[in-house]
Structure 1
Amino acid sequence: MVSSVVGSVEMPVESHNPERILRSSTCEVRMLGPLAASRDGNALKFPASRKVRALFAYLALAPKAVQRTQLCELLWDVPNDPRGELRWCLSKIRSVIDGPDRQRVEARDDTVRLDLSDCRIDVLQVAAAVKDGVEKLDPERLRTLVELFGGDFLEGMEIERSPGFNNWLVAQRRRFRACHAAFLEHLVKDGSDDDALVHLDRWLDLAPFDQRVHKILLEALARRGRIRDGEEHLAATSRLFESEGLDSRPIRDIWRAAREKTEVAGQLLAAAPTTPPPRIASEVETTGTSSHRASIAVMPFGESGAALGSGRDAGGALAHDVITRLAKLRSLFVIAQGTVFALHQRHIGSEEAGRMLNVDYVVSGSMQRQSDRITVTVELAETRTARIIWAEIFNHRRTDAFVVLDEIGNKIVASVASEIETIERNRAILRPPNSLNAWESYHRGLWHMYRFSMADNERAQHFFETAIRLDPTFSRAHAGLSFTHFQNAFQGWAKRGPEVDRAFEAAGQSLMADDRDPAAHWAMGRALWLRGNSDQSVHELGQSVDLSPNFALAHYNLAFVHSTNGDPGAAIPSSDYSRNLSPFDPMLFGMLGARAMALVRLERFDEAAEWAIKAAARPNAFAHIHAIAAYSLVLAGRVEEAREYMASIHKTLPHYGVKDFVTAMQFDALGAAMFRDAAKRLGAK
C-alpha cells in the first residue's frame, strides 16, 4: 500500500550504493550548490527522490530532534498517508547513512534526528564560523570558507506542493548568501589579499543594492586611475537601481567624491612620489557612522496557516507593533514601516534588506497559525556579519490572537533592545578609549556602570562625560551620568548631598536633551526619590512607562520605590513585569530585591526570604542586596543563614550596619522599624 502511494508522488528511486555513505570520518556532504556527498574524494549518490534528499538536508541542519508531525507538515500537502510516506523516506535515508555498527537515524518516541557528528558538512562549517564571529577569522580561513560556496543552498531542490519546505529553503538560501557576503566583506577589509577586486565582484553579485560595496569598489577604481571602468560601473548601477525604483543619486555622489579625493591624492603623490597607494581596506575601516544610535530594520513576519478571521495582516501588524515600540525606546535608529514593507512586497529578504538600508541589525521572523495555537519564530541578526545574535520561538494558545501577539511583541522588543545593548557594550570595551565616538563612549560607560564597584563607577562617569562632550544632545549619556551620581549617594561612595544634587542636575539635562526618552524620565524618577520626593518620583517613572511600556528599568524602579516607602502591593507586579521583559537584566538582583522588600512590608516573611536569597545570588549583588537577604531571613526565623549573609558583607565592609541600610533605602517609618527589629534580633549593629 505504501509503495503505491509513494509511487504516485515520488520520482523512481535508484538502487543505493552497497557501501554506506557517511560511514567514515573522511566523508563530506555539500549543500552549497546541488546536494552532493563524497568519501575519500569519490562521489556518492543520494536517492533520486527529492523528498528523501529534502528530508535529509532538513534533519542535517536541525539543531535538535524534530517532531514527526512537523516533518509531515513540512513536506506533504495533505497526502493520503503522510506518516507512511515519512517512514518510507526515513528507510531510504537509513539505507544510505546507517552502518552495521551505528544507526545515524535516531527515532525516539515521536521525534527524529540525524547523528552526523563525524561528518564534514559545508553549511555547518559556515554556520559555526559565523556563530563564533566572522571578525575573528583569519584571511586564510575566510578564503577556505568562501571556496565552499559552489552555488545557492540546495540548488534545484524546490518541491511542488510543499510550501512549508520551500519557505524554509528560501530562508536558508538567504541566510547562507548573507554569510557568503559577510566573508567576502571581511576578506576585502583585511586588505592583504591580492584578489581583493575579485572578492569585491563576488560580493557585488551577492548584494547588488548594497551601497557600501559600490562605495568601496568605486573608490578602489578611482585610486587606481581606472576612471573609464568606474564610469561604466556607475552607469550600469544607476540603470539597475532605477529599474528597481531605487534612488541612484547616492551612488553618483560616491563616484564624484571618489574622483575628487583621487585628484587631491594625486597632487600629494606628485610631491611625495614614494608614498604607497592606500589599500582597498582603508575605506572599509572608515565607513562607520558617527551617529550615537545603532540602526535596525524590522521586516514583516511571514505567515502560514489559517487566517485570524479579522482580515488583518497579522504578520505585518506584529512588525508594525515592534517598529513602533522600538522607536519609543529612543535608543535605536529604527527604519520606518513604509520602507521595510515596500522591500518585503518586492520579495527582498531580511539579509538583503539590511544591506540595502545599511543598518546594523535586522529583525525577521515567521508566524504559523493553526486551529488552536499561534507560533512566532523571531531572530535578530547583525547585518555585516550575518550572525544571529538572538532567536526565540513563542508558542501560545490562540484564545485571543491579538492579546497573544501583544504579549509576544512586548517580549520581542525588550529582548532585542537588551541584546543590542549587550553587544554594543562588549564591542565598545574592546576599542581604544581615545577612538570612541559618543555612542561607543556611552556603551563603554554602561559596561563599567553595571560592574557596581566604586572604581568602575568612576570609569563609567568618565565615559558618560566623554559621550556628552562629543554629543551634548545625547540624552542617554546624561541619564547614565545621573545614574553614576545616584550610585555614589546610594552606596555611600561619596558625600550624599552633593551627589544627590548632581544626579538631579544630570537627569534634568537628559530631559532637556530629549523629553520623549523614557530613560530621561527614569533618571529623573530615581533622582527625585533620592531627594525624598517619592510621589514625584512615581509620577516620573510612570511617565517613562507611558512613553515606552517595554522599558524594563522603569518598571523595576517603580517596584523599588513602592517597596521602600510606597505601595508594597503595587511593587510586586511591577517587579514581576520588569523581570518578564528583561529576564537576564544586569540589574536583576535589584528587581528580585525590590520584590523581597515589598513582601517584608506585607509581612510575608517566608516568601521574602526566598526572593532575597535569589537576589543575593545574582552577579554583582552588592552589600545592600545581601543585607535584604540577611534581614529577610531573620524575620522568617532563619537566623543562622542570616548570619552567613551578614558575615559576607563584613568581609569587605567591616563597619556596615542597619543604619547604612535604612539610610540608603529611605524606608517609611513602619518599614524602617521592621528592618531595625530584624537587625536587633540578629545581634548586628
Structure 2
Amino acid sequence: MIRTLGRFELKTGDNVARNVTRRSALVLALMIVAGAQGLRRDQICELLWGRREQFQARASLRQALVELRHYASSPDRAGLEIVTDSETAKLSAPADAIDLWLFDHLVSLGTPAALEQAAHLYEGELLAGVDMPDEALEWLRPHRETCFRKALQLAEALSELAHLTENAAACGATLANRLLVSDPAAEDAHRALIRIYQRQGKRSAAARQFKICTEALNQALGVAPERRTAALLTDHTDDRQEQPAPPLQRPPPSAKPSVVVMPFEMLSAGLGSDDYVADGIVEEVTATLSRIRDFFVIARQSAFASREKFADVQQLGKDLGVKYVVQGTLRRAGDQLRVSVRLVEAESRALLWTERYDGRADDLFLLQDRIAEQVAGAMHPALLQAEIESAKRKPPGNLRAYELLLQSYPKLWRRAGKENAEAIDLLNQAIAIDPLYGRAHALLAWAHSQNVVYLWSLDAERERRLARQAVMAAERLIDDDPLAMTALGAALGQSLGEGERARSYVETALSLDPNSAWAWARLGWILVIDEQLERAKDCFERALRLSPVDPLAFNFKLGVATCWGHLERYELAIPIFQEILARYPEIAWAHRMLAAFAALAGDMDMAHRSLDALLKAQPKASIALMRIQHPGRNSPKLFARLVKGWRLAGLPEES
C-alpha cells in the first residue's frame, strides 16, 4: 500500500521503489491527492517546475510520467495505472492500494468496523514532512485541512457509536490523541476523548481532559470550550440517546444554504488603486449567484463591511451565519489580469472548488461578466454536491424532505437503472413527508422519463403515466424554481413528446437562472428534436463552459456529439462517443447513437462492436422498441437517419 498519511512511502511489502526520482514521486503524490479527476499537465508543471521555461517543465513532466509508468508496472502493484492524455494526468488504482483513498472509502461506509479500520490508517498529517515547492505546498494546504477535518469527524463518530466496544474506544482515543499532537486546540478531538472517558465511567479522566481542552483553547484562540463540550461533563447519561425528533417538515426558505462572496485580495504590488477591479468582479459574482434559487446569498454590503475583520473562514461563517465562503485573489502584470476564485465550506475550512481566469484590463467589463457567469455556473453543482455530502451524513431517521431530495441527485446522475429506481424511492419518501414539495414531484417526473428513454423499463406506458402524474402535481407547486422547471422540461421533452411545453419551461428556467448548465443542455436536446442542430450545439457547448466538471458534463458532451452526427460530421462525433464510453462504460444507451453513426460512416467493425455492447446491456433493444421509447422518435427526419444506421449495424427489427 502507498502511504500518504503521516508519511510518504512508495514501498510495497519488501519491494522498495527504485528508479523513482524525488520529483517523480511528488508528481505521484499530487495525483493521489487529486483523486479521480486528476490534474492538468500545465498545473503539475506550475506546481513543481514553476521556475523553469514551459518546454523544460513539460519535458520534465513527461520523464516523470515514464518513471511512474515503470513503477506502476511492477507485478506487486497490480491495478496501478498512470492515465494521461494531451491535457491531463491521473492515477488509476484500487482503493486499497493507497491509504488516503482507502481511508476516505472506509469513512464513507460508516460501519463500526470500517471506522475502526480508518482510524488505524490515519497515522498523521497528509504527506507529512514531504519537501516540495511553495506552490505545491499552497495547493496541498486545503487538502491537508480537509483530511484533518475528516479525521476529527472520525474520532467523534467512534466516540458516539451505539455500541462502544473496547477496541472502538481504543481506536478513537488513539486517533484523538494523534490529532491533538498536530493541533492541541482541536476541540473535536478533545470532545471525542471526553465522551469516551465518560462512557467508560472514567469521570476524573474526562474532567482532566476538559481542563486540558480549556487551557489549549484559551492559549491558542483566547476562547472557552463550546457549550456542547462542557455539557458532556454534566450529562452522565449515554449522550448518544437523542430526544424524539420533531415532526419532519419542509425546510423554510431560511434553511437554504447561505453563501457570502468576500472582497478579493490584491496580490500584486501597487494594486491599491485598482481595488475597483476586484470589487467590480465581486459585485457581479454576488449578483449572478443571487439568481440561483437554491442558495441564500449574503448582501455585498455585509461582505465588504467584514473586509478587515476576519482572517479565518470558520469565524467568518459563525459571525455572518453562512455555510459557504467565496474567496478570490487578483494579480496584474501590465495589462494582463489573473483572477483566482475558490469556494470554501466555512465550518470545516474544506476547499470545495477552485478555478483561475485570465484576461486583459482593457476588456474589463467583458472579463467581469465572463468570470461571474462561469463562477456561478461551476459553483452551483459544487455547492449542491457539498449539500448532498452533508445530507449523506445525517441518520436516516432524521432526514427531512429536502435532505431526501438531495440524496436523490447523485442517483439521478448515476447513468444506471438501479440507481434511478433508488432515486424514485427517495423522491417518493420526500413527497410522503411534504406532498407540496414541487421540486420533488418535478424530479420524480424526470426519473420516470429516464426509465423510458434509456430502456431501463420495458413498461413504457406505465412509466409515462407516472411521469405525467408527477408533471401535473409539480406544475401547481414549483413557482419560480429554475431547477424544477428544467426537470419538467426534461420529462416533457424526453418521454412525453410535448416539445413546445418542454421548451417553454426550460426557457423560463433560463430567464430566472441564465447560468444553469443543465437548463442550457436541456434546451440543446429540445433543439435537436426541432432539427436546429447548430443552435443545439451552441447550447451544449455553453453548458460545458459554464460547468466543465458538472456531474452531467458527459451528457453535455454527448449532446455535442449527437449534433455532429446528425450534421454528418461523423469524424467529429464518433471520437466523443468513444471518449465518453471509455470513461463511463455503463452508459449503454450511448451505443444506440455510436452504432448508428459508425455504420453510416462506413466503419462496420465499430458499428458491430457498439451494437454488441448495446445488446449485451439491453437484450430487448430493437428498432420497434426504439420507435416507442427513443426520444428522437419525435423528429421524423433525424429518426429516419438513425433507423438507417441501426439497420446497417444489424439491430433487430423486433425484440
- Residue identity matched to 1:683: G
What is the alpha-carbon distance in structure 1 between the residues aligned to residue 483 and residue 263 of structure 2? 28
The residue number in structure 1 matching 2:577 is 612
Partner of residue 289, structure 2: 326
| Selected match of 1:188 from 178, 191, 206 | 191
Residue pair 1:126, 1:145 contacting (<8 A) in 2 also: no
Amino acid in the other structure paired with 2:147: K
Task: Write the mapping of 1:231-380 to structure 2, written as runs, cut at 5 A.
Answer: 276-277=236-237, 291=251, 293-305=256-268, 313-347=276-310, 349-380=312-343
TM-score relative to the length of structure 2: 0.66
SS at match of 1:377: strand
Corresponding residue SS for 2:589: helix
Q: Is the 8 A contact 1:452 1:620 kept in 2?
A: no
> 1:592 matched to which residue of 2?
557
Q: Write the distance in 2 (CA, Å) between the matches of 1:203 and 1:289.
A: 37
Tell me by how many angstroms 1:548 deviates: 1.0
After superposition, the Cα gap between the structure-2 partners of 1:494 and 1:595, relative to the gap in structure 1 and judged at 3 Å, is same
1:143 is displaced (CA, Å) by 3.8
Which has the larger Rg? 1
Q: Is 1:514–1:520's contact at 8 Å kept on the other side of the alignment?
A: yes
- Aligned counterpart, 2:620: 655
Structure 1 residue 592 displacement after superposition:
2.1
> Any idea what the Cα deviations from partners look like across 1:2-28, whole Å, max 9, x if unmatched?
xxxxxxxxxxxxxxxxxxxxxxx9xxx
Q: How far, CA to CA, are the matches of 1:202 and 1:289 in structure 2?
A: 40
Aligned residue number for residue 669 of structure 1: 636
* Distance in 1, Cα, partners of 2:299 & 2:177: 37
Alignment partner of 1:562 out of 527, 530, 535: 527
Superposed displacement of residue 353, structure 1: 0.7
Equivalence map 1:411-450=2 (5 Å): 411-429=374-392, 431-450=394-413
Equivalent in the alignment of 2:459? 495
Task: Find 2:517's aligned residue among 544, 552, 559.
Answer: 552
Task: Call closer, same or farther: CA 1:438–1:200 in 2, change over 3 Å.
Answer: farther
1:512–1:526 CA distance, 2 compared to 1 (3 A): same
- Determine helix, strand or coil for the equivalent of 2:290: helix
Which residue identity lines up with residue 188 of structure 1 in the other structure? R
Structure 1 residues 324, 514: CA separation in 2 closer, same or farther (over 3 Å shift)? farther
Taking a change above 3 Å as real, the CA distance of residues 188 and 309 of structure 1, as seen in their structure-2 partners, is closer
* Letter of the 1:192 counterpart: I
In structure 1, runs of 5+ residues without a counterpart are 1-24, 26-61, 70-114, 151-179, 225-275
Q: Equivalent residue for 1:459?
A: 422
SS in 2 for 1:684: coil
Contact 2:285–2:371 (8 Å) recurs in 1: no
Q: Give the Cα separation in 2 of the matches to 1:302 and 1:597.
A: 43
Q: Check if 1:216 corresponds to 2:228.
A: yes
1:521 partnered with 2:485: yes
TM-score normalised according to structure 1 size: 0.63
The equivalent of 1:102 in structure 2 is none
SS at 2:328 equivalent: strand
**2: CA distance, partners of 1:601 / 1:531:** 22
Q: Could you say what secondary structure the match of 1:393 adopts?
A: strand
Letter in 2 for 1:357: L
Mapped contact 1:564–1:597 kept (Cα < 8 A): no
Compare 568-577 and 493-502 and name the one that shifted more.
493-502
Aligned to 1:387: 350
Q: How does 1:64-83 map to 2 (within 5 A)?
A: 64-67=48-51
- Do the aligned partners of residues 545 and 201 (structure 1) sit closer, same or farther apart at CA in structure 2, a change above 3 Å counting? farther
Aligned to 2:154: 136
Deviation of 1:306 (Å):
8.4
What count of residue pairs does the alignment treat as equivalent? 493
Deviates more, 1:625-634 or 1:581-590: 581-590
Does the 8 Å contact 2:177/2:189 carry over to 1? no
Cα distance in structure 2, aligned partners of 1:612 and 1:127:
33
What displacement does 1:362 show? 1.8
AA at the equivalent of 2:146? V
Q: 1:631 to 1:187 in 2, by over 3 A?
A: farther
In the TM superposition, what is the alpha-carbon distance from 1:316 to its structure 2 partner? 2.8
Structure 2 counterpart of 1:157 = none
**Deviation of the 1:296 alpha carbon:** 2.6
Shift of 1:668: 1.3
Q: Given residue 609 of structure 2, which amino acid in structure 1 is its aligned partner?
A: E
Say if 2:314 and 2:346, in contact at 8 Å, map to a contact too: yes
Report the counterpart of residue 199 of structure 1 in structure 2.
Answer: 213
Residue of 115, 120, 130 corresponding to 1:117 = 130
Q: Is the 8 A contact 1:616 1:629 kept in 2?
A: no
- Measured after TM superposition, the shift of residue 444 of structure 1 is 1.7
Tell me how far apart the structure 2 counterparts of residues 549 and 280 of structure 1 sit (CA, whole Å). 46
Moved more, 370-379 or 492-501: 492-501
Does residue 477 of the first structure (1) align with residue 461 of the second (2)? no
Cα distance in structure 1, aligned partners of 2:345 and 2:141: 19
Deviation for aligned residue 1:197: 5.5
Q: Distance in 2 between matches of 1:682 and 1:353?
A: 60
Q: Which runs of 5+ in 2 are unaligned?
A: 1-6, 8-45, 54-127, 156-171, 198-205
Change (3 A) 1:405 1:680: same
Cα offsets for 1:600-623 (capped at 9, x unmatched): 322222222223323333426533
Distance 2:542 2:610 in 1: 28
CA distance in 1, matches of 2:399, 2:214: 29
Distance in 2 of aligned mates of 1:556 and 1:416: 17
Indicate yes or no: 2:408 matched with 1:408.
Answer: no
Q: SS in structure 2 opposite 1:628? A: helix
Q: Distance in 2 between matches of 1:201 and 1:309?
A: 41
1:225-279 per-position Cα deviation (integer Å, ceiling 9, x unaligned): xxxxxxxxxxxxxxxxxxxxxxxxxxxxxxxxxxxxxxxxxxxxxxxxxxx3465
TM-superposed deviation, 1:402: 2.1
The one-letter code of the counterpart of 2:284 is D
Alignment check: 8 A CA contact 1:351 1:362 kept: no
Residue 641 in 1 paired to residue 612 in 2? no
SS of 2:568's equivalent in the other structure is coil
Kindly state the Cα deviation for residue 580 of structure 1 after the two structures are TM-superposed. 1.8
The Cα shift of 1:537 comes to 1.7
